[in-house]
Amino acid sequence: MRTLSTLFIVIAIVFVVVGSSVFTVYESDRVILSRLGDLRTDKEGMVKVYDPGLHWKMPILDKKHVFDARLQMTEVPSERIVTKEKEVLWVDLFVQWRINNFALFYNTTHGLSEGLGERDRAEQLLRQNVKGMLHAEFGRRSLKNLVSGDRNSLMDELRTRTNENISAYGMKVIDVRINRVEYPSEVNDRVFARMSSERKRMAVYYRATGESEAAAIRADADRQAKIIVAESHKDGELIRGQGDGQAAKIYADNYNKAPEFYRFYHSLEVYRKVFDEKQDVIVLKPDSDFFKYFKNIREQ
C-alpha cells in the first residue's frame, strides 16, 4: 500500500515537473526566457526568441515573458497644439506599431514604471514621442497647410521622426493617422463669427453685382424697346403717308371724272361728322352753301 502511494506521489511530481517545463507559444505571440534575471541566449550569444510551437524550459529557474507580435494600435488623446500662425487646435490621432526587437523591447520597457506591463510602458513612451513630434511639426506649418495636400507629408514626417526616437526601444511605427483637427470650444464662436462675416460680405458683393447687371439688362431692354417702338411708329407713319397719298391720288383722279358726284359725296361726309350726335345744333343762314343739296332736293 505504501509502495502504491509512493508511486502516485512520484507520478504527480513528474507531471508537475513536466507541466512546468513545457510551454506553448501561440501564433500571435513571441516568447523570451529569463533565468535569474538574465535573458536566455542561443549558441551565438543572441537572445533567443521562441516562435509559435511547443518548447521546453527549466522549471522554477526560467521565467517566461510573452509579447504580442501582431500589429497594434495606440490612440493618442486629444492634444492642444499651436500652429505656425499661433492658431490653437485640438488634434486626435492614432499610431499603428509593432515590436521588431523583442529583447531590446524587454530591456528598455521592463521595470520603467511600477504597476505597468511592457505594453502599457511602450504605449506611454510612444505617446510621449508622438506628442513631442506633433508639437514640433504643427509649429512649422500653417492651418492652410494642415488641411490641404501637406497633411500627407505631415503624417509621413511624424512616422519617420517618431520611428527615429522609438527604434531604441525595439519598436517600429507602421503608420500615423490624424483623426480630427478642430478648434477649441472657446475659439469656435470667434471662428464662426468670422466665417459668418465673410459669407455676409460675399453675399452683399454678389447681390450688388446682380443688381448692377440687372439694371444694365433693364436699361438695354428699355433702349431696345424704344428703338423698336420708334421704328414701328416711323414705319406706320410711312405706310399711312403712302396710303393717304394713294387715296388722295385716287380721289383726285376720280374727281376729275365726276366732280359733281364727289362734291355731293363730300357734303354727305361733312353732314355725317357735323350731326354725329343728336343733340348737336348748328346755326346757319338759310341760303348758306352748307345746305346746298338740301335745297336741290326741295326744288325737285
- Looking up residue 154, the CATH number of its domain turns out to be 3.30.479.30
pLDDT tops 60 at residue 31: yes
What is the model's pLDDT at position 299? 46
* Rounded Cα distance, 168 and 154, in Å: 23
Does one domain contain both 81 and 62? no
198 falls within a domain: no
- Look at residue 187 and tell me if it is in a domain: no
- The answer to whether residues 178 and 244 belong to one domain is no
Same domain for 60 and 79, yes or no, is: no
Q: Confidence class of residue 300 from pLDDT cuts 50, 70 and 90?
A: very low
Q: What φ, ψ does residue 172 adopt, rounded to 5°? A: -140, 130
How far, CA to CA in Å, does 87 sit from each of 5, 81, 196? 80, 8, 19
Decide if pLDDT at 262 tops 80. Answer: no
pTM beyond 0.75: the answer is no
Round the average pLDDT of the chain to a whole number and report it. Answer: 79
238 and 164 co-located in one domain: no
Please list, residue by residue across 211-222, b when 16 or more beta carbons sit within 10 angstroms of its beta carbon and e when fewer do.
Answer: eeeeeeeeeeee
Domain count, the chain: 4
Range of 74-88, 174-188, 225-239 with top mean pLDDT: 225-239
pLDDT value for 61: 83
Residues 92 and 178 in one domain: yes
| Residue-wise pLDDT tens digits, 161-220 | 888 888 888 899 998 888 877 777 666 666 677 778 888 889 888 898 888 899 889 988
Contact 73, 125 (CB under 8 A): no
Tell me what pLDDT residue 298 has.
47
> Are 44 and 127 in a shared domain?
no
Domain housing 86: 72-182
Q: Is pLDDT at 92 greater than 80 in this prediction? A: yes
pLDDT score of 14: 57
Residue 143 pLDDT > 80: no
What distance in Å separates the CA atoms of residue 278 and residue 293, rounded to the nearest whole number? 21
Q: Residue 190's pLDDT is what? A: 66
